Amino acid sequence: MIWVICHFIVNAYKKVRDSKLRKDKIVEKTGGDSSIMTIPDSGFMMENGVSCLPCTPQEEKKMVTDLRNESERSLKEGNLYFVISSRWFRTWERYVGIDADENLIGNQSSDFRHMNGASLIMAERPGPIDNSDIVENGSDCDCKDNEIQLRRMLTEGQDYVLVPQGVWEKLYEWYKGGPSLPRKMILQGFYHRKYNVEVYPLCLKLIDSRDDSQSIIWLSRKASVTELFQKVCALRGIERDKACIWDYFNKRKHARLIVSNKSLEEANLQMDQDILLEEVDGCHSSRFGMDSTGNELALVSLEPSRSPLTIARGPTLSNGHSSGYRSNLYPGSSLSSGLTDMDDGFDAYNSVRKGEKGGLAGLQNLGNTCFMNSALQCLVHTPPLVEYFLKDYSDEINTENPLGMHGELALAFGELLRKSWSSGRTAIAPRVFKGKLARFAPQFSGYNQHDSQELLAFLLDGLHEDLNRVKQKPYIEMKDSDGRPDEEVAAECWKNHKARNDSVIVDVCQGQYKSTLVCPVCSKISITFDPFMYLSLPLPSTITRTMTVTVFYGDGSCLPMPYAVSVLKNGFCKDLLLALGTACCLKSDESLVLAEVYGNKIYRFLESPLEPLISIKDDERIVAFRFKKKGMGKTKLVIFHRWQEKFTTDYLRIGTGLFGTPLVTYLGEDQPSGANIETAVSKVLSPFKRTYPSAKAHIGKENGFLSDGLDEQCGSSDAMSVANAELEVTSSTDLSLPLLLIDDSFMNFKAFKKDTFFESGKILRVVLDWTDKEQELYDANYLKDIPEIHKAGFAAKKTRQEAISLSSCLDAFLMEEPLGPDDMWYCPRCKEHRQAIKKLDLWMLPEIIVFHLKRFTYGRYLKNKIDTFVNFPIHNLDLSKYVMNKDGQSCVYELYAISNHYGGLGGGHYTAYAKLVDENRWYHFDDSHVSPVNESDVKTSAAYLLFYKRVRTESKVETGEASHSHFIS
C-alpha cells in the first residue's frame, strides 16, 4: 500500500513538472519573466526553468552513503566537514529510513517486533536545515570572515553531527537552510597520528596596547605563529616589523611570540586566553621590547628552564640557590625547549615563602580541564611518585621508545609535580603539560570535557613508555598454561612482562590478575595472567537485572505465583532457571520450562539453556511451567482460552478472541486420546476452582494478579448466533469440557471425541471455550495480568537507592560471567568465536591500587550516570580474601586520594580530595581553589576514582621483604 501511495505521488510530481514546462514555453513566447514561478499547491519552487523535484528517500540515502564512503577513503588534512544540528539530522535520517534500518534493531519493543514490519510508517520530509539550536546568538567574532561560532560544550552525536563537504552540498541542494558551519580536518598525535575535525578553533582575545581595544581572533590550533601575525596585522592595520605580540596568559607577559612555523598549539596558547599587541621600532633588538608606557623590558625567551627546579636537584632551598643544573640534557632533542616556569605562571625563584607547605598548589582550569586537574592532583599526591620525581630521574628517560614521546611527557609531568610541591599555595597553569599530553593522546587536545579515568589511563601509560628502562623490547612468544601450576605460569608471565616493561609506573602501579575462560561448548579452559594498572569495578546494579517470571504448575497442584529474581545481564536462560528454581524452592525431581507469552499465545519456548538473556526485553512476559521430571511425557499439550460469548466469524477466521495465559502440560500415554486430553485439562484447571458458587462479586487482587470483572456480557446478535452454532458442534461430542483442536496457525478449529487418538511426540493445541458454566466453576482472573519482565515505574517505587560497599563492587568485578555478544572469545579447540564464561581473580597487588567506579553507562541512545553512594573504607582496607597468591605481602591499604565527579554527563565537574601524608590532613582541590576538609567528609556519592597505598607492618619493613616495587610508602 505504501509503495502505491509513493507511486501516486511521483506521478503527481511529474504532472506538475510537465505542466510547469508547458507554462515556461508560453511565458517565453510572450516575453514574460519566467525566472521564478511557483506552481499553486505543489509545494516546490521552480527556479530558472529547472524543477526542484526532490529525490526519493532511498535515492537520498544512497547518495549520502556513497559520498560518506568516498570521503572516508580520501582522508587528508585540510578536508572540509560541516557541522549540522543533530535535531535536524535525526529527522532526515528517519525520513530516509536510517533509523528503521539500523537504529531500531535490538531496541524495538515487543509490539514492533511481533508486527513483522507491518506497521512501518514513512516519516515526513524535513524542512530546511536548521542549525539555530547549536550556534551562538549573533557573532562576537571580529575577524574578516565574520564566522558564526558554535555554542560551547556541545557533544558530537548528541548535539551535532559532522558530515563531509560533499554530503553538506547535497543536503543544502535538497533542503537549503543553514547557517553553514564549515570546519577543517587536522592531523594530531605524536607517533599515533589521528585525523580529527577541529570543531572548536582556537579563540584568542587580542588586546591592542595602543588604544586598549579588544578583538577576537579565531584560528586553528595548527595554524602557525606566522599566520597569527598576518591576521593580527591585517586586522589592526600595523606593519609586521613593527608588531610585537605577547603571550598574555592571565594578563601577564609570558613570552614574546616569534614569527615562525611553530603552531599555536606548540606555543601553548589556550582557548580564550589573551594576547597583547604592542608597536615597536622595527630595528629594535629582538631581545628587548617596550611596554605600553615606553619602558624597556626584558623579553622572556623560549629557552630551557634555568630554575633551581630541575631534575638534577629537586626543590630549591629557601635562599634560592642550587647546583648541578644540566642546561641541555639532550642536545638537539625537543627536550631542550618548551619547559619553562613562566609557561606555567610560576616563578620558581620566588616560589616558596617561609612557613608555607608544599603540595597545596591548585591547578588553573584551561577550559573544561577540571577532569585533567582532578586526576593530576591525585597523582602528584601519590607518595612513591612524589619521591621519584623529586629526585634525579634523567637517566631513566627513554628517548628511543617508539611508543613514548622521547621523554617529553615525563619531563612535563615531573616539572609540574615539582612546582606543585614547591609553590606553596600559588595556583599553577599546566599549559605545557596539557600540550604534551595532547600530542601523546590527541583525544584530549580540544576543549571539551573528558573522563578523568580515561586521562589517568593514558597518562600512566605515557609516563611508563617515557620512563621504560627497556630500550630494546625482546620478542616473547606466549605459552598456554597447559595444566601447569598457577604459581609457575604467573611467575613466567610476570617475568615476560618485566622483560619488555620496566619503569617506576610498573614498580608502583601495576599488579597481576588471573583470567580464566571456559568454552560453553567444548569446555576448553584457558588461563592467562595479565598485568593491570587499575581496577574498573562495576556497581552491582550495572551488571545484574531483575526479572519477574510467573511460575505455573503443569500438574495442576498449585496456583501460579510471580517471582522476581536477580540475574546477570549478559547471562543465559540456564542462569535464570537456576535463580528461579532457588526462588520457588524447586525440588531435585522437578523441572522448569520457560516460555514467552504474547497475544495470549505461546510465542516461543525458551528451550535452549544457552539462550542469551539479552534476547528477553523488559516489556515481554515470561512464564515458567513446573513439572515433575517423571511426568514429562513425549506429547506436550498447550491449552488456550477464549470467551465463548465473543465469537464472530472474524474471530474464527484469524484465531483472535483469546484471553489469559495458555497452560502447558504433558500427556504421558504413548498414543494419547481425547479422553486423556480432557483429563489433563481438568487437572491443570483444578487450582482455579472457585470455593463459592458465584464469581460476580469477585473483583480484587490476589496473588499478585489484578482481576477486573471478567464476567461482563457483550457481543452482538451475530456473534451470539455464531456462538450457538459452535455450541452445537461441541455438544455433538461426548466431551464435558468445550474443547476444540486447533493448528499452529489458529485458522482451523476441529471438534474431537474422547475416543479420538493422536500421534505421540507432537505438540497438541486445544482451545477451551469459556462458557457461563466454566466461569462459575473456575476463577479466570489468575490467568490474566501476567507481569512484565521489568516494570520501570513499579521498580522505581519499590526500590530505594541504598548504599553499596566497595567489597560488593569487588565481588561483582570478580564474579563469573559470560562475555558480552560483542566480546566473543576465539576457542582454539572449536575454532570458533564463543561467548565464553569469564572469571577474574586477583593474583598480585601493586603498591598503589586505583579503583575506578564505573558510574557511567553508554549506549547508542542512552547515556546514564549512577549516583549511588559507595561506602569505601578510608583506613585498613583488607584485600587478603581477594588475593590468590599468598606471597607474604601486606594486603592492607589506606586511602590517600579521590577523584570526584559531580553532576551529569557532559555538564559535570571534577574535583579531588588528597591527603598530605606528612601532616595527616585532607584537602579539597577544586581547580585553583584549595581548602582543608575533614576526613569524615571525603566519602560522598561523587567518588569516582579511589587511590589506595599499601600499609606495611614494621616487621616487614625491618626485614626488608622483597616486593616488585622499589618504593615503600
The residues annotated as belonging to the active site are 370, 909
Tell me which DSSP letter residue 156 carries.
Answer: B
- Taken as a whole, the chain contains a residue count of 969
Cell numbers placing 331? 642536545
Cell numbers placing 723? 456462538
C-alpha distances in angstroms, 259 versus 240, 278, 612?
A: 9, 15, 63
C-alpha distances in angstroms, 241 versus 238, 262, 274, 279, 854?
A: 9, 18, 21, 9, 55
List the beta bridge partners of residue 871. Answer: 805
Burial readout 616-639 (b: 16 or more C-beta within 10 A, e: otherwise): bbbebbbbbbbbeeeebbebbbbb
Long-range contact list for 964-968, CB < 8 A, 24+ apart?
Answer: 964/494, 964/507, 964/844, 964/846, 965/384, 965/507, 965/508, 965/846, 965/847, 966/504, 966/507, 967/383, 967/384, 967/387, 967/388, 967/504, 967/507, 967/508, 967/847, 968/847
CB of 870 within 8 A of CB of 541? no
CB of 961 within 8 A of CB of 890? no
How many Cβ atoms from other residues are within 10 Å of residue 930's Cβ?
Answer: 20
CA 243 to mean position of chain CA atoms: 48
Cell numbers placing 52? 526542484
* HEC-encoded secondary structure of 54-111: CCCHHHHHHHHHHHHHHHHHCCCCCCEEEEEEHHHHHHHHHHHCHHHHHHCCCCCCHH
List the beta bridge partners of residue 263. Answer: 224
* HEC-encoded secondary structure of 728-796: HHHHCCCCCCCEEEECCCCCCEECCCCCCECCCCCEEEEEEEECHHHHHHECHHHHCCCCCCCCHHHHH
Burial readout 931-961 (b: 16 or more C-beta within 10 A, e: otherwise): eebeeeebbeebbbbbbbbbebeeeeeeeee
CA 68 to mean position of chain CA atoms: 24
List the beta bridge partners of residue 912. Answer: 899, 925
Closest CA to 837 of 819, 810, 850: 819
Q: How far apart are CA 397 and CA 468, in angstroms?
A: 7
Q: How far apart are CA 614 and CA 512, in angstroms?
A: 31
Strands (E), 511-620: 511-518, 525-532, 535-538, 544-553, 561-568, 590-598, 601-606
Closest CA to 511 of 166, 32, 38, 847: 847
Q: How far apart are CA 379 and CA 540, in angstroms?
A: 28
Phi-psi region of 650 (alpha: psi -120 to 50; beta: other; left: phi over 0): alpha
List the beta bridge partners of residue 163. Answer: 82
